[in-house]
Amino acid sequence: MGDVKLLGTWPSPFSYRVIWALKLKGIPYEYIEQDLLNKSPLLLQSNPVHKKIPVLIHGGKPIAESIIILQYIEEKWPQNPLLPSDPHEKAVARFWVKFADEKSLSIWKVFRFSGEEQEKGLKESLEMLEIIEEHAPGLGQKKFFGGDKIGMVDLALGLVAHWMGAIEEVTGVQIMEAGKFPRLEAWMKNFKEDPVIKENLPELKDMLAALKRRREIHLASK
């Protein structure tokens, strides 16, 4: 199997995507916290293109980008599959993973910005949530996106399940009005109650403090 290292930052939802996948598969790993204000030679050398976390290093070979890492983990360790085996169902899951990965960035706009840019982020976030609520297959019928077990779409949307609420609290901007997205709300509850996820979620209190500090830096550096 070789040794597995994960370069991440706390409490990044992108790091957590990888943490959850490794935990769900039962793969031991060494977590190496990174300082993004003072990037380590290991990070720069492992991800010279984007210089971002997370990076998975397996047997000395680095892989960057959380979604690419999830696919690698899925292929390398097939136990407790994160994607359906049927090719069409797999394509549908990948479609929603890509959607989550690209569109959930709008939630960061609410977090990082103020004024007009934040308004734009809020509008895009609502569009994203509405599309998921209306179109995501299986949502509202089963516990998770892919069925009764957590899969890659759930991991890709972890930001919505746990970080979004903290961002609402830190910014004072309400993104998800209670009762407006009943199927997503039920999924968020199921997701956070799953034993593996529950054990591997950042504490809300610590997250709030960290996000508050980071938001101040963002707003001050504009």
Q: How far is the CB of 204 from a second copy (least distance, A)?
A: 31
- Residue 83 is classified by DSSP as S
Q: How far is the CB of 123 from a second copy (least distance, A)?
A: 17
Contact between 99 and a second copy per CB under 8 A: yes
Interface with a second copy in residues 24-83 (CB under 8 A) = 48-49, 58, 61, 63-65, 67-69, 71-72, 75-76
Which residues are CB-neighbours of 113 under 8 A, at least 6 positions away? 121, 218, 222
Closest CB to a second copy among residues 71, 114: 71
Contact between 95 and a second copy per CB under 8 A: yes
Which residues are CB-neighbours of 174 under 8 A, at least 6 positions away? 168
Q: How far is the CB of 91 from a second copy (least distance, A)?
A: 4
DSSP β-ladder status, 30-33 and 4-8: parallel
The binder of a second copy chosen from 30, 36, 44, 98 (CB under 8 A): 98
Which residues are CB-neighbours of 151 under 8 A, at least 6 positions away? 81, 82, 83, 84, 93, 144, 145
Q: How far is the CB of 155 from a second copy (least distance, A)?
A: 16
Q: For residues 23 and 77, what is the distance between their CA atoms, to the nearest angstrom?
A: 12
Which three-class secondary structure state does DSSP give residue 182? helix
Binding site for a second copy (CB under 8 A): 48-49, 58, 61, 63-65, 67-69, 71-72, 75-76, 87-88, 90-92, 94-95, 98-99, 131, 135
